[in-house]
Amino acid sequence: MKKEERASISIMKIICVSIILILISGIGVLAVNNKLKDVKIILQNGYEMQALTSKNKVSEILEENNIVLDDNQKTIPDLNSEVSAGQSIQITDKSYNEIQIAKISEEGVETTLEELLKNYAPITEKIVVEQVAIPFETITKNQTNADESNSTNKVLQQGVEGIKEVTYKIKYQNDTEIEKTVLSENIVKEPVNKIVQVQKKATSRGSSEARTAGIATTTAVVNGETYKITAYCSCAKCCGKTTGRTASGTTATAGRTVAAPAKFAFGTKLNIGGHIYTVEDRGGAIKGNKIDIYVNSHSAALQWGVKYLPVSVAN
């Protein structure tokens, strides 16, 4: 009886092994018939998954594994490529240029890939140092109230341009400058102002005009004293306030108001270079032979610069 049981058990083992071999053989035949292959898929977050597939195209393999790409994602190799066993499919971000080109293509703009890439070419930056000329100013010293026909100009000092080094950051795209930004400025050489003296024409060697011609001083002249005349406006840079109110309480007015030293009382009429002004203002720097003429804007004040003009009290 024991021998029959052992024989029965042996037969059962043989049958089981045979069934297993048949199943393995069937799976192998099925795999061969369907050409199954093992492909690795690498997701954007770095996760890797193995896929057993009979598909060839990248797009089909992703679809089979329920993987959908975002608009800003792409695959390496691309979706239309075919892969073989053992290859990998990597999902990664599109570049900025690829996204922009895709958007333009979707809008139906007719253009070539070369033109698109040209528009989205990389931007390069360079630091460039250039030397720039600084213009000089012309200062006029007027010693006379004579009209132009009876006056002459004499250059006391020639003007010389200054030099400054300017450092720029320049951006280029396709070798074309698209942006230029000043980073710093450094004065290498200060400009030298040109000084011109206006004087009466000499009538004879023995005349008083001939003796005084060419003397550039701030001493008394025929109709008054020569003053250093500057200009100011009602901005914070000039006055430290923006009210436009003068020290005498009036509203500063261009063509009328001047700031003069305390030796001139408020309301005094001054003939400055042939124009009548009224003393209505004071200033901490307005001392000695210095007068400030009120103008409407800071740019007008800068344009006026510095002039030396005769000043006298008007009758």
Instruction: Report pLDDT for 192.
Output: 87
**Pair of tokens at residue 282:** 């004071």
CATH domain 35-120 topology: Ubiquitin-like (UB roll) (3.10.20)
Cα 261 from Cα 279, distance rounded (Å): 9
Q: 155 CB contacts (<8 Å, ≥6 apart)?
A: 194, 195, 196, 197
Show me where the domains of the chain are located: 1-32, 35-120, 124-194, 217-313
Q: What would the pLDDT profile of 92-101 be if each residue is shown by its tens digit?
A: 887 655 665 6
35-120 shares its CATH topology with 124-194? no
Instruction: Report pLDDT for 295.
Output: 93
Which residues of the chain, if any, have pLDDT below 50? 1, 31, 203-222
Q: What is the dihedral of CA 87, 88, 89, 92, to 10 degrees?
A: -150
Residue with tokens 């053989």: 25
The CATH number given to 217-313 is: 2.40.40.10
Instruction: Report pLDDT for 100.
Output: 59
Contact 157, 196 (CB under 8 A): no
First-to-final CA distance of the chain = 158
Q: What is the C-alpha R_g of the chain?
A: 46
Instruction: Report pLDDT for 99.
Output: 62
The architecture that CATH gives domain 124-194 is Single Sheet (2.20)
